[in-house]
Copies of this chain bind each other. A is one copy, B any other.
């Protein structure tokens, strides 16, 4: 049952010779325009994954977090998931440890996983929680260690048919949904560092993109938004013809990965989206988090920015 509220040409007669400035009425008009969007997402779960690259610029983070605060206050159940690759590498360098990657996966020794925790939990997570909580008692920082709510297995990785030991790199086995539901039903935003725990209680680093997708599925999220530093997926038909693609189906994505049109860092994000769509997640988006307030533009206007990936053409 949807009713459009039409904003008439808002006029306000003068008051004692003084005019009520148009700006107030414009503001009210905008609020009313937003109502259908607010209704659409009322009480729905929206997962936002923020990459480590964005974390370097405090202005950008704060703009993103302001968006989340607004979303929370108009009734959206927000979950924030973050990575921190760049910052981990930086701390390793400070300590004189050389970062080693195999096919883009960080080899994570016992020493390294401790640094990973310091960065993810002690620095990035803590900072995000602090920023959010400047608006009230809003956010709770958690990592998969807490109550072992992200259970994982050691990632088995083969290079050229030979198994390679990546150390403490994990793959999600299960998410304890009740743990997150308790936080959400207390009206808090869980801010999640993507560490996991294995059977024996060892901690593992988990890829934040795929972890976001696992959490989105577990919470049956309405929407999962992957924030990155490019505008989305492009259709590259020669230099003159680069064009942002607004919508893709999972099927189309598979083809574009096969023919190389989606590549490198974008692949895990797209795969996470496709994976989430296989579950019960409604829509997934790849947005440019460095553009200010891109999440709000996506949610509260009908300007579809970035690339939306859905299971079928809808």
Show the binding face of A for B, using Cβ within 8 Å. Answer: 1-3, 5, 8, 10-13, 15-16, 20-21, 24-35, 38-39, 42, 66-67, 69-70, 73-75, 94-95, 114, 117-123, 125-127, 129-131, 133-143, 145-149, 176, 182, 186, 188, 197, 199-203, 231, 242-244, 291-293, 296-297, 300-301, 303, 305
Residues in chain B near residue A34, CB distance under 8 A: 27, 31
Determine whether the beta carbon of A32 is less than 8 Å from that of B122.
Answer: no
Determine whether the beta carbon of B121 is less than 8 Å from that of A3.
Answer: no
Q: Chain B's nearest CB lies how many Å from the CB of A28?
A: 4
Q: Chain B's nearest CB lies how many Å from the CB of A58?
A: 12
The CA-CA distance from A28 to B126 in the complex, in Å, is 27
Copies assembled: 6
Determine whether the beta carbon of A201 is less than 8 Å from that of B3.
Answer: yes
Determine whether the beta carbon of A39 is less than 8 Å from that of B200.
Answer: no
Determine whether the beta carbon of B30 is less than 8 Å from that of A30.
Answer: yes
The CA-CA distance from A202 to B66 in the complex, in Å, is 17
Residues in chain B near residue A42, CB distance under 8 A: 73
A28, A38, A95, A186, most chain B CB atoms within 10 A: A28
A141, A200, A231, most chain B CB atoms within 10 A: A141
Determine whether the beta carbon of B126 is less than 8 Å from that of A122.
Answer: yes
Determine whether the beta carbon of B38 is less than 8 Å from that of A74.
Answer: yes
Chain B minimum-CB-distance residue to A122? B122
Residues in chain B near residue A292, CB distance under 8 A: 8, 10-12, 25
Which one of B33, B73, B114, B300 lies within 8 Å of A75 (CB-CB)? B73
Determine whether the beta carbon of A135 is less than 8 Å from that of B31.
Answer: no
Given the interface contacts A117-B123, A201-B130, does A70 sit within 8 Å of B135 by beta carbon?
no
Residues in chain B near residue A296, CB distance under 8 A: 28, 31-32
Which one of B11, B66, B136, B301 lies within 8 Å of A27 (CB-CB)? B301
The CA-CA distance from A222 to B25 in the complex, in Å, is 24
Determine whether the beta carbon of A148 is less than 8 Å from that of B137.
Answer: yes
Determine whether the beta carbon of B74 is less than 8 Å from that of A28.
Answer: no
The CA-CA distance from A305 to B21 in the complex, in Å, is 11
The CA-CA distance from A203 to B202 in the complex, in Å, is 30
Determine whether the beta carbon of B147 is less than 8 Å from that of A32.
Answer: no
Q: Chain B's nearest CB lies how many Å from the CB of A75?
A: 7
Residues in chain B near residue A30, CB distance under 8 A: 26-27, 30-31
Residues in chain B near residue A11, CB distance under 8 A: 292
The CA-CA distance from A243 to B30 in the complex, in Å, is 30
Q: Chain B's nearest CB lies how many Å from the CB of A185?
A: 10
Residues in chain B near residue A27, CB distance under 8 A: 30, 33-34, 300-301
Determine whether the beta carbon of B126 is less than 8 Å from that of A147.
Answer: no
